[in-house]
Structure 1
Amino acid sequence: MDYLFIKNMHIGMAYLSITLFIFRSVLSVSGSSLLQHKLLKILQHIIDTLLLIFAILLTIIIQQYPFVNGWLTAKLIALFAYIIVGTIAIKRGKTAVIRFWASIFAIAIFAYIYGATKAHHALSWLAIM
């Protein structure tokens, strides 16, 4: 397994995932019927599955694991929060206002995850400063 390839694929999938999430969030808040397009639903699942596969491969390659290394544990917990808040943003939020704020919170959680990755620290961006 080539470390740089796996890392770059993981990063690429993360960028694609958040970009598609933001697009779908805009559709959700605006009440667009395009949100129900089958391709958008399938594409998000494919990208997120590849993101997770590359994440698992990276943990094996760098030999750092959740519940052993704090920053990866923090990322995993934040990932679960992102998924929960993201489902509110896309489909479970009862009103456009709830979906909007859930979208903002989900993007903030994603930013935290990204910062934890860059810093290799649970304090995320605060550890870099």
Structure 2
Amino acid sequence: MSASKVMIVDDSPIDLQHLKDIVTTAGYHAITATSGREAYSMAKQSRPDVILMDVVMEDVDGFEACRTIHQDQELNKIPIVFVTSKNQKADRVWGELQGGRAMISKPYTQEQILSALSSL
């Protein structure tokens, strides 16, 4: 799959902007959301090719948002890559069980993000 539209979901304005800078500099079109609830709504509306999703967010966390997206027949083919401070083995296993394709730990490098996008 060749991703061109990337949704970035993070409640931290700094992390959101940093990820947006990485993907847009690499030539991807970036759309953003600041919560899991907004991510689901935006995914329905804009149909991104891939989603980079934080886990630790208020209201609806990234794991719940991933589950919701993957239960929707119209959205369940969109790959989700978690970009998170949660980096324990249990977090990785739980993320996979929710439908996540990969997990990148914060702090991350530009190369890690771009490698994940190019491998989908």
Range into which the TM-score falls when normalised by the shorter chain:
under 0.3
Which protein is richer in strand relative to its size? 2
| TM-score between the two structures when normalised by the length of structure 1 | 0.27
Structure (1 or 2) with the larger CA radius of gyration? 1
Which protein is richer in helix relative to its size? 1
